[in-house]
């Protein structure tokens, strides 16, 4: 069973980021409502569909927040891999099932009532898909641990620190690492190239569906500046990447840039939705 100290610390971090997500969700919905009002589509099914997409992305990001914060605490606190680890991690994630979609569902239903149209489907289905993605990441993570354990001989009683879903593995009672510092120069260069691709792709579109384009361009510039530092701010980068991902992932012309960024972030231990 996971140490209660780990789950309690992760929960505090998760709740803080959920609060930030709520503020961003409300901001995004207000922008969508303003746009719908300009187009005289405030009481239309298309308005509800746009808000549904915003809420669906929020659900996906909240599921990812649960996974990344749980893994972040584990990476710093250290854990010994056991046969039941995957089930324990999935159980820890499943406890957030209601919280992952409750806020988005409340906002979506409020918009639907005013518009007079029902959402095209329940956010519960979106939540279930997001959680299944996290479960797959957990299985991959635990499989990686098992393979490493098979290929290496560790002293009895060693403590392992894991940087997930891919990344550094350190051993020893005092071992620690910062995820963004355990990558190669090539990884950093690939990341910068991906950000450049995102920047060029953003220049080719007039607007984004749920975020001011100028704000996302600024975030891309800030992320590139931060990652070049000797000690990047992990929390700042994680939240920045989530906002960038949310802003560009549903825009068809930006998909190649999004996919490039998603791939470039894997060595940093970040799995975008």
- pLDDT tens profile 81-101: 678 888 999 999 999 999 999
Confidence of residue 178 (pLDDT cuts 50, 70, 90): very low
Identify whether the C-beta of residue 107 lies closer than 8 Å to the C-beta of residue 52: no
Check whether 170 has a pLDDT greater than 60.
no
> Within its chain, how far is the Cα of 75 from the centroid?
17
What's the pLDDT at 2? 79
How far is CA 226 from each of CA 13, 64, 172, 268, rounded to the nearest angstrom? Answer: 21, 22, 29, 13
Cα(213)–Cα(266) distance, integer angstroms:
25
Q: Which residue, among 233, 235, 257, has the nearest Cα to 244 in the 3D structure?
A: 257
- What sign results for the dihedral spanned by CA atoms 33, 35, 41, 47? negative
Helix (H, G, I), strand (E, B) or coil at 170: strand
Whole-angstrom distance, CA of residue 175 vs CA of residue 152: 17
Q: How far apart are CA 52 and CA 1, in angstroms?
A: 37
Average pLDDT over residues 29-50: 91
Q: Which two tokens stand for residue 37?
A: 């009002």
Q: Summarize pLDDT for 126-140 with one digit per residue, the tens.
A: 999 999 989 988 888
Give the pLDDT score at 169. Answer: 33
Asked if 203 and 222 count as a contact pair (C-beta separation under 8 A), the reply is no
- 17, 38, 50, 101, 209 from 30: Cα distances, Å: 20, 12, 12, 19, 12
Residue 177 · residue 163 · CB < 8 Å: yes
Mean pLDDT of the chain: 80
d(C-alpha 156, C-alpha 206), whole Å = 59
Cα–Cα distance measured from residue 128 to residue 119, given in angstroms and rounded to the nearest whole number: 17
Instruction: Show me where the domains of the chain are located.
Output: 4-177, 185-268
Residues in the chain: 273
Return the ∠ at Cα 145 (arms to 234 and 163), rounded to 5°.
5
CA distance 38 to 134: 38
Helices marked H in the chain: 4-38, 45-77, 85-94, 97-115, 123-151, 185-203, 213-227, 234-248, 255-265
Q: If you average pLDDT over each of 5-14, 21-30, 100-109, which comes out highest?
A: 100-109
The vertex-142 CA angle with 138 and 144, nearest 5°, equals 115
Dihedral sign, Cα of residue 252, residue 256, residue 260, residue 261: negative
Cis-peptide, bond into residue 165, ω within 30° of zero: yes
pLDDT value at 267 more than 50? yes
Residue 160 pairs in a beta bridge with 79, 171
């Amino acid at each position: 069973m996971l140490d209660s100290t780990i789950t309690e610390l992760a929960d505090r971090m998760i709740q803080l980021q959920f609060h930030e997500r709520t503020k961003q969700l409300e901001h995004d919905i207000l922008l969508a409502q303003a746009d719908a009002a300009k187009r005289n589509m405030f009481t239309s099914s298309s308005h509800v569909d746009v808000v549904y997409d915003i809420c669906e992305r929020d659900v996906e990001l909240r599921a990812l927040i649960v996974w990344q914060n749980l893994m972040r605490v584990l990476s710093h606190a250290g854990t010994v891999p056991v046969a039941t680890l995957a089930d324990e991690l999935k159980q820890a994630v499943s406890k957030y099932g209601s919280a992952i979609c409750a806020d988005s569902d409340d906002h979506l239903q409020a918009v639907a009532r005013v518009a007079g149209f029902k959402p095209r489907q329940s956010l519960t289905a979106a939540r279930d898909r997001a959680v299944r993605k996290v479960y797959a990441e957990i299985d991959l993570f635990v499989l990686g641990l098992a393979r490493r354990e098979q290929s290496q001989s560790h002293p009895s009683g060693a403590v392992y620190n894991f940087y997930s879903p891919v990344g550094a593995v350190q051993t020893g009672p005092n071992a620690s690492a910062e995820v963004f510092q355990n990558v190669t120069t090539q990884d950093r260069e690939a990341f910068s190239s991906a950000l450049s691709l995102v920047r060029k792709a953003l220049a080719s579109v007039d607007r984004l569906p749920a975020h001011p384009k100028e704000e996302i361009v600024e975030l891309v510039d800030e992320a590139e500046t931060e990652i070049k530092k000797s000690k990047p701010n992990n929390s700042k980068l994680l939240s920045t990447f989530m906002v960038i991902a949310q802003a560009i992932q549903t825009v068809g012309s930006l998909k190649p840039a999004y996919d490039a960024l998603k791939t470039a972030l894997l060595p940093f231990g970040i799995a975008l939705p």
